[in-house]
Amino acid sequence: MACLPTPARHALCKLFGRAEFTAEEVCALGYRRLQRAEGIGQKSLQAIIDWLAQHGLTLAPPAAPAGPADELPAALRQSIDGAVRLLRSHGYRVHRARERRRD
Protein backbone atom coordinates (compact mmCIF):
# COMPACT_ATOMS: atom_id res chain seq x y z
CA MET A 1 0.00 0.00 0.00
CA ALA A 2 2.97 2.32 0.55
CA CYS A 3 3.65 2.32 -3.22
CA LEU A 4 0.33 3.99 -3.94
CA PRO A 5 0.35 7.77 -4.37
CA THR A 6 -1.26 9.64 -1.49
CA PRO A 7 -4.40 10.78 -3.40
CA ALA A 8 -5.13 7.23 -4.59
CA ARG A 9 -4.51 5.80 -1.12
CA HIS A 10 -6.79 8.38 0.50
CA ALA A 11 -9.55 7.75 -2.05
CA LEU A 12 -9.36 4.00 -1.41
CA CYS A 13 -9.42 4.54 2.37
CA LYS A 14 -12.55 6.62 1.95
CA LEU A 15 -14.09 4.03 -0.37
CA PHE A 16 -13.45 1.16 2.07
CA GLY A 17 -14.15 3.23 5.16
CA ARG A 18 -10.92 2.08 6.78
CA ALA A 19 -7.18 2.72 6.54
CA GLU A 20 -6.11 -0.83 5.68
CA PHE A 21 -7.04 -2.84 2.61
CA THR A 22 -5.45 -5.49 0.45
CA ALA A 23 -4.70 -5.56 -3.25
CA GLU A 24 -7.20 -8.41 -3.61
CA GLU A 25 -9.95 -6.28 -2.06
CA VAL A 26 -9.18 -3.40 -4.41
CA CYS A 27 -9.15 -5.70 -7.44
CA ALA A 28 -12.47 -7.21 -6.37
CA LEU A 29 -14.11 -3.78 -6.67
CA GLY A 30 -13.58 -3.87 -10.42
CA TYR A 31 -12.57 -1.25 -12.94
CA ARG A 32 -15.92 0.52 -13.28
CA ARG A 33 -16.43 0.88 -9.51
CA LEU A 34 -12.97 2.36 -9.10
CA GLN A 35 -13.50 4.62 -12.09
CA ARG A 36 -16.67 6.05 -10.51
CA ALA A 37 -15.24 6.39 -7.00
CA GLU A 38 -14.92 9.87 -5.57
CA GLY A 39 -11.33 11.12 -5.62
CA ILE A 40 -10.08 8.62 -8.19
CA GLY A 41 -9.22 10.30 -11.45
CA GLN A 42 -7.40 8.91 -14.46
CA LYS A 43 -3.94 9.27 -12.88
CA SER A 44 -5.00 7.61 -9.63
CA LEU A 45 -6.75 4.82 -11.53
CA GLN A 46 -3.58 4.15 -13.52
CA ALA A 47 -1.52 4.17 -10.32
CA ILE A 48 -3.92 1.63 -8.79
CA ILE A 49 -3.72 -0.58 -11.90
CA ASP A 50 0.09 -0.46 -11.74
CA TRP A 51 0.03 -1.21 -8.01
CA LEU A 52 -2.24 -4.20 -8.58
CA ALA A 53 0.09 -5.45 -11.33
CA GLN A 54 2.95 -5.39 -8.81
CA HIS A 55 0.86 -7.78 -6.73
CA GLY A 56 0.18 -10.06 -9.70
CA LEU A 57 -3.38 -8.85 -10.23
CA THR A 58 -4.89 -7.52 -13.42
CA LEU A 59 -7.53 -4.82 -13.61
CA ALA A 60 -8.59 -3.93 -17.13
CA PRO A 61 -11.36 -1.73 -18.48
CA PRO A 62 -14.44 -3.62 -19.62
CA ALA A 63 -14.71 -4.39 -23.31
CA ALA A 64 -16.50 -1.84 -25.47
CA PRO A 65 -19.91 -2.78 -26.91
CA ALA A 66 -19.51 -5.01 -29.94
CA GLY A 67 -21.96 -3.25 -32.23
CA PRO A 68 -22.30 0.31 -33.40
CA ALA A 69 -23.60 3.03 -31.09
CA ASP A 70 -27.12 2.62 -32.48
CA GLU A 71 -27.28 -0.81 -30.83
CA LEU A 72 -26.76 0.55 -27.31
CA PRO A 73 -29.47 -0.06 -24.72
CA ALA A 74 -32.15 2.64 -24.81
CA ALA A 75 -31.34 4.05 -21.35
CA LEU A 76 -27.65 4.40 -22.20
CA ARG A 77 -28.41 5.94 -25.59
CA GLN A 78 -30.74 8.45 -23.89
CA SER A 79 -28.05 9.34 -21.35
CA ILE A 80 -25.45 9.88 -24.08
CA ASP A 81 -27.85 11.99 -26.12
CA GLY A 82 -28.55 14.15 -23.08
CA ALA A 83 -24.84 14.63 -22.43
CA VAL A 84 -24.27 15.60 -26.07
CA ARG A 85 -27.11 18.14 -25.92
CA LEU A 86 -25.66 19.63 -22.74
CA LEU A 87 -22.19 19.94 -24.25
CA ARG A 88 -23.53 21.51 -27.41
CA SER A 89 -25.64 23.98 -25.41
CA HIS A 90 -22.39 25.19 -23.81
CA GLY A 91 -20.65 25.69 -27.14
CA TYR A 92 -18.79 22.40 -27.56
CA ARG A 93 -18.66 20.61 -30.90
CA VAL A 94 -19.43 16.92 -30.52
CA HIS A 95 -18.87 14.37 -33.32
CA ARG A 96 -19.01 10.61 -33.49
CA ALA A 97 -15.56 9.03 -33.47
CA ARG A 98 -15.76 7.98 -37.11
CA GLU A 99 -16.79 11.55 -38.04
CA ARG A 100 -14.04 13.24 -36.04
CA ARG A 101 -12.44 16.08 -37.87
CA ARG A 102 -8.75 16.81 -37.70
CA ASP A 103 -8.33 20.56 -37.34
Please determine, for residue 70, whether its predicted confidence score (pLDDT) is greater than 60.
no
Summarize pLDDT for 15-32 with one digit per residue, the tens.
999 999 999 999 999 999
Q: How confident is the model at residue 69 (pLDDT cuts 50, 70, 90)?
A: low
Structural domain spans, the chain: 6-54, 69-96
Please determine, for residue 100, whether its predicted confidence score (pLDDT) is greater than 50.
no
Q: How confident is the model at residue 75 (pLDDT cuts 50, 70, 90)?
A: confident
Q: What is the pLDDT of residue 62?
A: 78
Question: What's the mean pLDDT when you consider all of the chain?
Answer: 85
Q: Structure pTM?
A: 0.61
Distance, C-alpha 27 to centroid of its chain = 14
What radius of gyration do the chain's Cα atoms show? 18
Q: How many CB atoms lie within 10 A of CB 9?
A: 19
Q: How many CB atoms lie within 10 A of CB 55?
A: 12
Please determine, for residue 71, whether its predicted confidence score (pLDDT) is greater than 80.
no
Please determine, for residue 7, whether its predicted confidence score (pLDDT) is greater than 90.
yes
